[in-house]
Structure 1
């Protein structure tokens, strides 16, 4: 986990144009620096999305429920390439095509750790193939659960405390996407 804090992230402006780079640690130190990120949702054949409870060792929002996986592309790296790498690292799933369904820019302070999230977050969705089962890394993920998007939105709106602060926004982007109506195929075909 500590080594990841020294990785570079791509700083961006409010429209997502690249401005340079900073370390993960610097970008997440108050007041934070706006940088590119991604949030992935994997769906099952019923259209439910896979949530992860972030591991206790996470430096930002530990033990909160979040989308399937998230992270940062390296400067100049394609978001889908970085997301595919993190899916393997966090939940042990490879080779799932991902499609972007929107962007959610947000700022959130973690009162427990003093760290911040200030992200231009690309929201991605992919369909978990039948017979593929996540094998989460316990250093990254404390627990997993499947939930229907409407139920998730209702849970967050009634009590947001158990959830990562970006989850409502990224789930709303997914729910508003035309791909939300096609749970069997992320490419909409």
Structure 2
């Protein structure tokens, strides 16, 4: 049986779907605009799950970032994609999933010229059982639970280096989630 190649949704400049492409072929020097998402997972104590991207990732390998990022499949609701990726990447089931930056969009260029170019709605979710965390090593190389206020302050002050999308999101996310 042949594995299905993961597809991403390509977007026009005004954010409307215009097609699909294999995920493995969209991140390069001229990355087309496509649909993604970011999620910040908090436990009941207000700690944020911060993840470090696996070193095998195409974009920003080894970068610390928010809890989970991903791409909805064609025809998949963004909220369903968030829940799917949280299960796949982190083994987590979450509650209270809600959008906090529904229209977030960014473009970032790596040192080698590879570009991220995404409409990337940002979500927050609650994790009622942090002990259930089971990161996929192909996605996450390290993780930690950090108080939200400390993480935000450290990243915004430059005390913690984070992915460009995470830094841009923190510029506009509220001080309390």
Task: Normalising by structure 2, report the TM-score.
Answer: 0.86
| 1:46-85 matches, cutoff 5 A | 46-85=45-84
Cα distance between partner residues in 1 of 2:52 and 2:60: 10
Native 8 Å contact 1:39 1:170 kept in 2: no
Q: Are residues 97 and 121 of structure 1, via their aligned partners in 2, closer, same or farther at CA, if it must alter by over 3 Å? A: same
Partner of 2:97: 98
CA contact (8 A) 2:55 2:141 kept: yes
**Counterparts of 2:41 and 2:130, CA distance in 1:** 14
Equivalence map 1:17-56=2 (5 Å): 17-56=16-55
Find the aligned partners of 2:174 and 2:114 in 1 and give their Cα distance: 29
Residues 17-56 of structure 1: per-residue CA shift (max 9 Å, x gap): 2122122133212111111101011101222211101111
Deviations for 1:38-91, whole angstroms, at most 9, x for unmatched residues?
101110122221110111111110110011111000122101111111111111
Higher mean alpha-carbon deviation, 164-173 vs 45-54, is at 164-173
Contact kept? 1:149, 1:171, Cα under 8 Å: no
Give deviations 1:108-128, integer Å, cap 9, x for gaps.
12225x422101001011111
| Counterparts of 2:165 and 2:74, CA distance in 1 | 22
Q: Which moved more, 1:94-103 or 1:49-58?
A: 94-103
Alignment check: 8 A CA contact 2:93 2:127 kept: no
- 43-52 vs 57-66, which moves further: 43-52
- 1:114-153 equivalences under 5 Å are 114-130=113-129, 132-153=131-152
After the TM superposition, which segments of 4 or more aligned residues of structure 1 sit over 4 Å from their partners? none
Instruction: Tell whether the 8 Å contact from 1:153 to 1:172 is kept in structure 2 after alignment.
Output: no
8 Å contact from structure 1 (residues 84, 96) kept in 2: no
Q: CA RMSD in A?
A: 2.3
The count of residues paired between Structure 1 and Structure 2 equals: 174
Q: Which runs of 5+ in 1 are unaligned?
A: 181-189
Secondary structure in 1 aligned to 2:153?
Answer: helix
What's the offset of the Cα at 1:106? 0.7
